[in-house]
Amino acid sequence: MDRLDLFRFTPFRLNRLAAEVSAALASEYRERYGLDVPEWRVLATLGARDAPCTAQYISHCTRTHKSTISRAVTSLMKRKLIARIAHENDGRAFAIGFTAKGRALYDELVPHLLRKDRDIMSCLTADQRKQFAAALTTIEKSLELVQTAEGPEPY
């Protein structure tokens, strides 16, 4: 029987890497703004789009359980960072979008996160960063993961 070398097993390596990078970034938005990971995922998805979207779409894009996103949406609404917006295609549903306060917080936080991202990736050469990004894109496409927050919702 083959033995699984956990430290060469791609799913383990990706999960461990994602957890470490996520924790490094989370320290920025948790300490500065009291945001948790699901709340940041909501704000990040909204910030990457030009239009409001549903919580269901955020859940789909971020691969985060819908109940987790729902709790984050409720929390962000209480803090007046996001608001409900009448959904243009379904009068019974609603989308969510930034309030002015939420947009300002997002715009203030993004430069800090981009700097942190550069710091994390600084151990790679420019060519290695390109190759790494290309490899991740190839894997994401093969798994049919959402590639951009822009465009219409698939619902």
Q: Mind listing the pLDDT tens digit for each residue in 46-62?
A: 999 888 999 999 999 89
Of the candidate ranges 12-21, 42-51, 101-110, 142-151, the one whose mean pLDDT is the lowest: 142-151
* CATH number of the CATH domain containing 38: 1.10.10.10
Q: Does residue 50 lie in a domain region?
A: yes
Q: Does residue 34 lie in a domain region?
A: yes
- Tally of domains in the chain: 1
- Alpha-carbon gap, residue 68 to 43, rounded angstroms: 14
pTM: 0.85
Find the angle CA(26)-CA(144)-CA(36) to the nearest 5 degrees: 15
Q: Does residue 35 lie in a domain region?
A: yes
Q: How many of the other CB atoms lie within 10 Å of CB of 9? A: 11
Q: Does residue 13 lie in a domain region?
A: yes
